[in-house]
Chain A
């Protein structure tokens, strides 16, 4: 069964606002990764957080991980129109494969 569930399914904000996306999963994990997919393109890796980490930053991205709640969040600060894309969380549980959530569609209006 699918590991990751994302919330919200769609998010529409104005440029300059922050965007927060959440991901929940069901089983214990080794790490959780976030990917971005622009329309008509492949997925691009954004950030990886290990199960023993609680927070990680990369530029305007901040990821948190709460293993007790089996959830993660991705925060994009000061969003830009170019951030418009679908965002996916993916979990690695040691079984040799990444399991993806169904994604959040982010629309940033100029």
Chain B
């Protein structure tokens, strides 16, 4: 009964490949997010969706394409992976509004060889 689940937990791949990360939440939230955490633990928002509609796109290279098939799912596809994409990617969800706590998945650790 995990609240926010991401798959896979680990992703090791070669430069230039394309990969996807999936996220699902069973909390009934209408807003979902993708964050990137670098090796210094700096956490930065990449995208935010509300009711399947893109709300925030934070100057992320267009090699990153989020897709929200429904309110409970937000996937992230990355084309032509680069060394600098190595990081931990977190999915999160919340009810709409800045005073709502965000619930995070356990992250996907992406390593580019």
Residues of A within 8 A of B (CB): 2, 30-31, 33, 37, 40-45, 48, 50, 86, 88, 92, 94, 96-100, 102-103
Please indicate which of the listed interface residues A31, A50, A98 has the most CB atoms of chain B within 10 Å of its own CB: A98
Residue contact B45 to A97, C-beta cutoff 8 Å: yes
Provide the residues of chain B in CB contact with A99, threshold 8 Å.
45
Residues of B within 8 A of A (CB): 4, 40-45, 48, 55-56, 58, 90, 92, 98-99, 101-107
Residue contact A98 to B106, C-beta cutoff 8 Å: no
Contact of B43 among A41, A88, A94 (CB under 8 A): A88
Contact of A92 among B4, B58, B99, B105 (CB under 8 A): B99
Please indicate which of the listed interface residues B42, B43, B105, B106 has the most CB atoms of chain A within 10 Å of its own CB: B43
- A59 to chain B minimum Cβ distance, whole angstroms, is 15
Known: A40-B107, A42-B106. 19 other contacts (CB 8 A): A2-B42, A30-B98, A37-B41, A42-B4, A42-B104, A42-B107, A43-B92, A48-B99, A50-B99, A92-B99, A94-B98, A96-B48, A97-B45, A97-B56, A97-B58, A98-B45, A100-B42, A102-B40, A102-B41
Residue contact A31 to B99, C-beta cutoff 8 Å: yes
**Contacts known (A33-B101, A92-B98, A92-B99); A43 close to B56, Cβ less than 8 A:** no
**Contacts known (A48-B99, A97-B58); A43 close to B48, Cβ less than 8 A:** no
Docked pose: A33 CA to B98 CA in angstroms? 10
Residue contact B45 to A42, C-beta cutoff 8 Å: no
Docked pose: A31 CA to B4 CA in angstroms? 24
Docked pose: A94 CA to B44 CA in angstroms? 16
Residue contact B99 to A30, C-beta cutoff 8 Å: yes
